[in-house]
Structure 1
Amino acid sequence: MVYITLLILVLMFLAKIFFVIVPMRESFVVERLGKFRTVFEPGLHLIIPFIDRIAYRHEIREQVFDIPAQHCITKDNIQVEIDGLVYLKVMDPKLASYGIGDYRLAAINLAQTTMRSEVGKLSLGEIFSERETLNETIVREIDEASESWGIKMFRYEVANIAPSEHVVKTLEKQMVAERDRRAEITLATAEKEAKINISEGERQESINHSVGERQRRINIAEGRAQEISLLADAQSQGIAMVAEAINKPGGDKAIKMRLVDQFVGELGRIMDGSDISVLPSEMARVKGIFEGVDQVSKTFKN
């Protein structure tokens, strides 16, 4: 039993010396007598003790590194403090081991210098409005520079953009002034539209009054024309009836009697309304009047 236990311990010790297990998320760079030999991918691998050694262990998953905040000067000479995040992955463990001393530190420093350079090409407003463009430019620059390092830059994200306190106060005053300006423009536009609406209403009211007055006058004119037409028709019918009555037997005598009656009535009305007695000088011509009536009757008969 003791021998079996010792045998197991010996086998375990030998296995630990001659075999190495690489985790799924890592890659091992193996050197033989100080010289690069191979890269162990995830799994079980055999090594020669005291000759082979694991020189580097690399994380092969995508990694994220925090870019410390730094002061940058924009195109319009405004000092801002910017930090960010960089996402990269080891693509070639050999180059990541021998192509650069520390690819993590190198990527962070390269991201900072590239960010300072790109920020200097943009104004403060463009940094806020074109953040995506800034991120893409930094990724492209770092990816080109880090190609010999065996790493791949996937993306860069600007986390915070903090202008200086003086700039913040200036921007706040500018925003207040801009809001006041927009408010004044809005009020002026509203007042203008109100005046336009009032003038349009007054104009429409004047048009309505003129149209109504015109229609009223047309209606009055049409009513008068219709009245005149009716009176004319009535007079025409009356004359026709008188003419028809004259043509009947005894019609001329009736006309004479009617005219004499009207004359006497009018004469009486005049005399009643006078303070003195008035006798027309033409009474001697009464006979002439009746003769004129006789002529009118004859004319209707003809």
Structure 2
Amino acid sequence: MTALIVLLVLVVLTVLMTVKVIPQQTAYIMERLGKFYGVLQPGINFIIPFFDRIAYKYTLKETALDIPEQICITRDNVQVRMDGVIFIQVIDPKKAAYGIADYSFAVIQLAQTTMRSEIGKLDLDKTFEERMTINRAVVESIDEAAIGWGVKVLRYEIKNITPPSSVLIAMEKQMQAERERRAVILQSDGEKQAAINVAEGQKQKAVLESEGLRLRQINEAQGEASAIKSVAEATADSIRVIAEAIQLQGGAEAVQLKVAESYIEQFGKLAKAGNTLILPANLADMGGLIATALTVVKSSEVKK
């Protein structure tokens, strides 16, 4: 009975050692009698117990490796602390197994040395601006060396750049001065624009006022001209009416009567205005005066 149990256990162990189930995105390196035999693919695989063995196991998924913090010296001799993360993927399990002892360690070391080399080419101010350039340089450098390791470097990212505290204080002062300078420039630009707007408004106001004054003078002149023309036309019409009236029957006698009345009226006003009154020598010959006036009127009409 004991022998049967032992035999059953040996059979189970043999089956377990013979059948290998490989997960997806995983590669097993199999050696037969210590020599590379092949790469087991995902799924069920059969091996020969005691002759074959699984020497290495690799995941084919993308893997992130943390790059420890290190001190780098910039071109302007400033020490900065930098760390990062690199993303790699095994694309050739055989090279990863036999091309290098530990590809993860090699990638980390090469990333650190390349990062120090790239930082040494830049000034401190540029290290913050040239992150993409540094990342690209690290990827290209490691990817070229990792070809023989069966590893593909996908990307590299700088996580932190930490300058010394004294440099941080100086940078803060510099940024504060830059902000104050920009504030002064913005304020001066605002004042300048405000002055321009005020001057432009005054200019437009003066133009509008002068234009309004010109239009007013034109309107007043046109109004005065129209008034003078209207008065002249009214005077001409009245004279024309009087002249036509004189030509009618009895017109001359009416003019004589009107002249006599006006003559007497004006002398009456002179008498009321002062104590002294100058009378013409021929005041008694009123008819003669009227006849003289009519003669002047008729002579004027004849000339016309």
TM-score, length basis structure 2 = 0.90
Distance in 2 between the 1:301 and 1:18 partners? 154
Distance in 2 between the 1:104 and 1:120 partners? 25
Q: Residue 67 of structure 1 aligns to a residue in which SS?
A: strand
Larger deviation: 142-151 or 203-212?
203-212
Tell me the alpha carbon deviations over residues 180-234 of structure 1, each in whole angstroms, 9 at most, x when there is no partner.
0111111111111111111112222212221222122112211111111111111
Tell me the alpha carbon deviations over residues 51-99 of structure 1, each in whole angstroms, 9 at most, x when there is no partner.
4333222222221110001111223433221111111111112211221
Distance in 2 between the 1:47 and 1:146 partners? 31
Larger deviation: 83-92 or 27-36?
27-36
Q: Residue 39 of structure 1 aligns to a residue in which SS?
A: strand
Which residue is equivalent to 1:224? 224
Which residue is equivalent to 2:113? 113
**Identity of counterpart residues, as a percentage?**
42
Matches within 5 A, 1:26-175: 26-175=26-175
Distance in 1 between the 2:253 and 2:238 partners? 18
How far off is 1:19 after superposition? 4.0
Which residue is equivalent to 2:276? 276
Larger deviation: 25-34 or 246-255?
25-34
Which amino acid in the other structure matches residue 246 of structure 1? I
| 1:190 paired to 2:183 | no
Matches within 5 A, 1:251-266: 251-266=251-266
- Do the aligned residues in 2 keep the contact of 1:28 with 1:41 (CA within 8 Å)? yes
How far off is 1:300 after superposition? 7.2
Q: Structure 1: 5+ residue runs without aligned partners?
A: none
Larger deviation: 269-278 or 80-89?
269-278
How far off is 1:2 after superposition? 6.8
Distance in 1 between the 2:106 and 2:87 partners? 13
Which amino acid in the other structure matches residue 39 of structure 1? V
How far off is 1:23 after superposition? 3.5
How far off is 1:7 after superposition? 4.2
Which amino acid in the other structure matches residue 200 of structure 1? E
The structure-2 alpha-carbon separation of the partners of 1:218 and 1:18, relative to structure 1 and needing over 3 Å to count, comes to: closer
The number of aligned residues is 302
Which amino acid in the other structure matches residue 291 of structure 2? E
Distance in 1 between the 2:209 and 2:226 partners? 25
Which residue is equivalent to 2:24? 24
Which amino acid in the other structure matches residue 86 of structure 2? V
How far off is 1:238 after superposition? 0.9
The structure-2 alpha-carbon separation of the partners of 1:23 and 1:272, relative to structure 1 and needing over 3 Å to count, comes to: closer
Q: Residue 77 of structure 2 aligns to a residue in which SS?
A: coil
Distance in 2 between the 1:110 and 1:220 partners? 95
Which amino acid in the other structure matches residue 85 of structure 1? V
How far off is 1:164 after superposition? 1.5
TM-score, length basis structure 1 = 0.90
How far off is 1:179 after superposition? 0.8
Q: Residue 27 of structure 1 aligns to a residue in which SS?
A: strand
